[in-house]
Amino acid sequence: MTTPQTEALHDTAKGLDADAPVDIASVLVEGQIAAATAVRAATAQIAVAAAAMARSISNGGTLHYVAAGSSGLMAAADAQELGGTFSIPATQLRIHMAGGLPTGVEMSGDTEDDVEGLEAALAGVTNRDTLITVSASGTTPYTLAAARRGKAYGATIVAIANNPGTPLLTVADHPVCLTTPPEVLSGSTRMGAGTAQKIALNMLSTLMAVRLGHVHDGMMVNLRADNMKLRARALSIVCQIARVEQSVAAAALDAAQNEVKPAILIAAKAVSQDRASEMLRQTGGNLRAALAQHA
């Protein structure tokens, strides 16, 4: 039986526990760097998968993040940041984690084999939805069962796995294989594999936001300015893009009820909130296209 890459022994790990702490730290960081570089080979697949996610959001569908264990924590973190960063509505996001999201410091390991409850959890899935399924091994029963059930409902399946040729990648419409090296701590996929998964998830959601028109010149123009830090960031974004003073940007943000895109148009084009909203409606929310319009 062939040992999966994620379970293989790292070639520098022998005698590791007897090394000096600084030498162990060096091996650990190099392991993380090597895992991160594995994502480069999957950039084309990630870009196509992100487009599918954007279509789901544009068409009123839902993104379902599905995983178990440490992969589940990575997936949940990405899903939970989409509201504040890009104002993706909570009604269009779901997290399905084996055993449920932990509320304390313990996370049960046996739940990844438990597929009961998936039928009820995914009952509302339609062909407008996308499932983002994540499993280092590519064989996690919970995640694999969810992918198969989602596909039966007509949903688009994005799969992230760290072992090539595994069942989860095979069932997916958009397989994203992150072939990370063996873990320095054998089988501890919260390390290298988890790092690569986090990078891929960040890329997927950010590329999706670009497709949705929520990014302009590297700025988050659809962020939710619901605290002091984000209000200050929103103010800076309006100033930079509209090329106005802070007082003008602040007034525009107030008029736009802290929505950055319309605030930029109000400040840059001297239009009303209603006109700014109409310009964005006409361009499908794309700020660059809206800025190119006549006021």
Distance CA 16, CA 3 (A): 21
The residue count for the chain: 295
Strand partners, 177: 161
Q: How far apart are CA 193 and CA 135, in angstroms?
A: 9
Of residues 100, 191, 179, 198, the one with CA closest to residue 138: 179
**Strand 215-216 relative to strand 219-220: parallel, antiparallel, unpaired?**
antiparallel
To the nearest 10 degrees (0 to 180), the angle between helices 192-211 and 43-58 is 50
**CA 59 → CA 55, 100, 192, distances in Å?**
6, 28, 35
Tell me the two tokens of residue 215: 């990014």
Give the whole-angstrom CA distance, residue 160 versus residue 42: 10
Active-site residue, 112 included: yes
Tokens of 177: 């294989």
Q: Are 67 and 97 in contact (CB under 8 A)?
A: yes
In the structure encoding, which two tokens stand for residue 158, read together?
């994005």
264, 251, 266: which is closest to 221 by C-alpha? 264
Under a CB-based contact definition with an 8 Å cutoff, are residues 132 and 63 in contact?
A: yes
81 is catalytic: yes
Alpha-carbon radius of gyration of the chain: 22
Catalytic one of 7, 30, 106, 112 = 112
Q: What phi and psi, each to the nearest 5 degrees, are found at residue 124? A: -90, 5
Q: Which of 7, 30, 81, 278 is catalytic?
A: 81
Please say whether the beta carbons of 222 and 87 come within 8 A.
Answer: yes
Residues with a catalytic annotation lie at 81, 112
